[in-house]
Amino acid sequence: MSNIQKKEQSNLDVALFALLLDHSHSASLQAQLTEALRSLLLSGSDYSGTRLPASRVLAQELSVSRTTVVGAYDQLISEGYFKTMVGSGTFVAENLPHLVPPVQKSVAPPETPQAWLPFHSGVPEQTLFPHRVWSRHVERAWARPSDGLLGRADPFGWYPLRQAISAHLKAWRKLDCQAEQIVITSGASEAFEIIFRGFLGPKQTAVVEDPGWPLMRDVLDAVGTKVHLVRIDQHGLDAARINHPGSAAIVTPSRHYPTGISMPLSRRMALLAWAERHDALIVEDDYDSEFRYQGHPLPSLAGLDSLKRSIYLGSFSKLLSPALRIGYLVVPDSLLPSAQRYMSRFGSRASLIPQPALASFMDSGAFAVHLRRMRRTYAKRQSHLISELAGCADLLDLSPDPSGMHICAALRLKLQKTTTDKAITDAAFKEGLHLKALSSHSVLPDPPQGLVLGYAAFNETELSQGAQKLSRLLGQFSNTLR
């Protein structure tokens, strides 16, 4: 035996003879000894190949019966910790690293998720969400789930939710549709994939508003759809400016993103006539039109079309919470066979878990109550923000917006002479503000200059503090003119 082996043998003997067993403990002495031996081997010391004391010797040292020691040895032999060699005794098994827990390295604690910075757009107020009411709907749906929830999922989504969405659209958006025409999605990105992969196929051309939603253009590029950009004017998209036939036009007619412009009836009818002439689809992205502060929400374009050539997109991310990841498509009857084939093959990325809860939440009236509450809250916050920025009226066009969750403030010529919206947003971020540059939503040359300011997720104190920072920052940019 080498000196190293002798040292390991001595160390193991010392450790074994120092074990303490509690005769008054509820666990048997054999169970205590087995656990103590196992813990010793997993402590990190390398006893591989070391000979164990004879069972009689260890029993005398620990003042227990030999039967107790033999039972513990046999248990650890069966678990692979010990091995026996005829005529030589019992040894700690070789190659135990897989049984020894790895040395824990010091790991920095995960960073706490950052709160939304003032003026971050597209984020609803979540502290006012009726969490307790919502939790009851979730618990009721899954405490005793129905057979429908446990069986094969409908590729179009939970049918009662589709019924609730149908009723909501009839009441709020004047869109008469059936539950069978509704497809539940995980949001707008998946909806665009379904339309341009499942309905139209690759290598099609889509007419897209400029400025517009950058992520939507990314989705179209990923699915192989060509984008034909058309610059909007003060009334939104003008069908007369579309110089490419296209297979579809993607529009935000009720409230253009990000400018907030509402498309007048004459423009809507002209767009529908364009779709008729070119046998094209109209894809209406209606992302936050429920939040209208003056009068009832505007009728949808798809409602004017009676869903002949229109596909309607909606989402609950801005109405309730981004965490839901639930949106929907309303599909014309003519496209239902294509939708059935595509969804049956690929399924939806929307989780089934929240769908029955959302259905009952809507049916109970709690959803409508929440929307009305948020409309009042957001209207006050928009008014407060505009009031707090009144001192910047010579630098920004701060016209009130009759709907939505953000305002788009155009840079006045005075400010455009010295800076750009991108320079302002970059400087604002360093001050703890999250603005969006209007020009960053545009691809065509000579993009419009403006600031997109979200207010929905921030209380009046936060908006006041953010407005003060922004006012100082704009003052610094404007002072370079003097």
Q: What is the pLDDT of residue 43?
A: 72
Q: What is the pLDDT of residue 170?
A: 93
Q: What is the pLDDT of residue 461?
A: 97
Q: What is the pLDDT of residue 107?
A: 73
**How would CATH label the architecture of 3-99?**
Orthogonal Bundle (1.10)
Domain over 131-367 is classified CATH 3.40.640.10? yes
Q: Is there a cis peptide before residue 356, judged by omega within 30 degrees of 0?
A: no
Residue ranges per structural domain of the chain: 3-99, 131-367, 370-481
Which pLDDT tens digits describe the chain residue by residue (482 residues)? Answer: 555 555 566 677 788 888 888 888 888 999 999 998 888 877 766 778 888 888 899 899 888 999 999 999 999 888 888 888 888 888 888 776 555 555 566 677 777 778 899 999 999 999 999 999 999 999 999 999 988 899 889 999 999 999 999 999 999 888 999 999 999 999 999 999 999 999 988 789 999 999 999 999 999 999 999 999 999 999 999 999 998 778 999 999 999 999 999 999 999 999 999 999 999 999 999 988 888 887 666 789 999 999 999 999 999 999 999 889 999 999 999 999 999 999 999 999 999 999 999 999 999 999 999 999 999 999 999 999 999 999 999 999 999 999 999 999 999 999 999 999 999 999 999 999 999 999 999 999 999 999 999 999 999 999 999 999 999 999 998 875 44
Q: What is the pLDDT of residue 479?
A: 78
Could you tell me the CA-to-CA distances from 42 to 39, 96, 97, 230 in Å, in that order? 5, 9, 9, 68
Could you tell me the CA-to-CA distances from 94 to 42, 51, 85, 272, 461 in Å, in that order? 13, 11, 13, 79, 67
Q: Is there a cis peptide before residue 53, judged by omega within 30 degrees of 0?
A: no
Query: Are 131-367 and 370-481 equal in CATH topology?
Result: no
For the chain, what's the residue count? 482
Q: What is the pLDDT of residue 482?
A: 44
Domain over 370-481 is classified CATH 3.30.70.330? no
